[in-house]
């Protein structure tokens, strides 16, 4: 029997690639690199390598994100069943190619920094796999948002700094908190967009478990929480010129105004890319106030 809520279009390569989310890799890796340069410890060759690795791993994570959906398409009776399953598997293979390419580029940094960086990177890749990979599948257990906060926020920033300088610094993890909050908000934006489909498919994302209304309130809290956290970072002398962080408020209203829409609205498709735009603007301003 056909399942009407199954959407073949979401698995097309460009759609599955989710290019709007590349702001995560650019800003999170860029922040770790910028902290190194702000401290006079920067290295351009290492920085470029880290950015490339970050973009490749972000692309891999996006393409692999839908692999667990195969179970909903098997024996669904949908006319596009075979084509969609083939596309999901193809995206997953490309995710593997991107991952191994990133590992190859990262080995040069491992040579310079040490085996600890390799262990950190592999741990991050394995943890990222379990976002949709069995037997953990964070996405289906409601742990996707905290996992993204840690893996593509705190860990990505800290590892980028470590890759450039060869020194681990816990203060970098603290400085990463504002951008990490927005990475979490970006995932909540995805979950709000997909709320109806995920609920119908029995996918227990955090938004499905919390409910649509609580989740959109949580989304707003995540976005605005970056300001009190950033203020505290300024008070502790981690940031300079915090007034630059007021500029992103000019674009924060664009995603927030969409929250008035009902679950399943086509308009909510704009929520993730507009959140990504805010992330990019805030991230650039945040990096600027380091100097």
Residue 4, in any domain of the structure: no
Residue 161 contacts residue 35 (beta carbons within 8 Å):
yes
Residue 110 contacts residue 166 (beta carbons within 8 Å):
no
Kindly report which listed range (72-81, 221-230, 273-282) carries the lowest average pLDDT score: 72-81
66-94 average pLDDT score: 85
Residue 3, in any domain of the structure: no
Report the candidate in 121, 97, 107 with the shortest Cα–Cα distance to residue 46: 107
Residue 52, in any domain of the structure: yes
Query: Rounded mean pLDDT of the chain?
Result: 90
Residue 32, in any domain of the structure: yes
pLDDT tier at 139 (50, 70, 90 boundaries)? confident
Supply the pLDDT for residue 3: 44
Residue 94, in any domain of the structure: yes
Instruction: Pick the more confident residue, 127 or 33.
Output: 33
Instruction: Inform me whether the pLDDT recorded for 237 exceeds 80.
Output: yes
**Strand, helix or coil for residue 101:** helix
Residue 19, in any domain of the structure: yes
Report the candidate in 221, 240, 219 with the shortest Cα–Cα distance to residue 230: 240
What is d(CA 202, CA 191) in angstroms, rounded to the nearest whole number?
13
Instruction: Inform me whether the pLDDT recorded for 1 exceeds 60.
Output: no
Instruction: Inform me whether the pLDDT recorded for 234 exceeds 50.
Output: yes
105-133 average pLDDT score: 84
Supply the pLDDT for residue 132: 62
Instruction: Inform me whether the pLDDT recorded for 265 exceeds 60.
Output: yes
Q: How many CA atoms lie within 13 Å of 100's alpha carbon, on the beta-carbon side?
A: 5
Kindly report which listed range (117-131, 149-163, 269-283) carries the lowest average pLDDT score: 117-131
69-87 average pLDDT score: 83
Q: Which helix (H) or strand (E) holds 41?
A: none
Residue 128, in any domain of the structure: yes
What is d(CA 199, CA 208) in angstroms, rounded to the nearest whole number?
6
Residue 1, in any domain of the structure: no
Supply the pLDDT for residue 140: 72
Number of folded domains that form the chain: 1
Which domain, by its residues, includes 248? 9-288
Supply the pLDDT for residue 133: 63
């Amino acid at each position: 029997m056909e399942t009407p809520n199954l959407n073949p279009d979401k698995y097309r390569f460009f759609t599955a690639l989710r290019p709007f989310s590349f702001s995560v890799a650019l800003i999170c890796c860029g922040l770790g690199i910028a902290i190194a340069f702000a401290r006079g410890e920067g290295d351009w060759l290492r920085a470029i390598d880290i950015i490339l690795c970050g973009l490749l791993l972000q692309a891999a994570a996006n393409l692999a994100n839908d692999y667990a959906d195969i179970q909903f398409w098997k024996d669904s009776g949908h006319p596009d069943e075979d084509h969609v399953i083939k596309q999901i598997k193809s995206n997953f293979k490309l995710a593997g190619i991107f991952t191994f390419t990133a590992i190859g580029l990262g080995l040069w940094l491992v040579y310079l920094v040490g085996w600890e960086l390799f262990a950190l990177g592999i741990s991050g890749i394995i943890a990222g796999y379990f976002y949709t990979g069995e037997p953990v599948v964070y996405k289906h257990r409601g742990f996707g948002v905290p996992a993204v906060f840690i893996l593509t926020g705190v860990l990505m920033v800290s590892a980028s700094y470590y890759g450039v300088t060869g020194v681990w610094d816990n203060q970098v993890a603290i400085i990463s908190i504002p951008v990490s909050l927005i990475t979490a908000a970006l995932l909540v934006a995805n979950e709000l967009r997909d709320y109806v489909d995920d609920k119908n498919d029995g996918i227990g994302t955090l938004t499905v478990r919390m409910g649509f209304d609580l989740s959109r309130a949580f989304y707003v809290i995540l976005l605005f929480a970056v300001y009190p956290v950033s203020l505290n970072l300024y008070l502790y002398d981690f940031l300079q010129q915090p007034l630059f962080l007021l500029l992103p408020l000019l674009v924060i209203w664009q995603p927030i105004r969409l929250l008035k829409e009902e679950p399943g609205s086509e308009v909510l498709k704009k929520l993730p890319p507009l959140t990504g735009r805010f992330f990019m603007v805030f991230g650039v301003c945040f990096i600027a106030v380091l100097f």
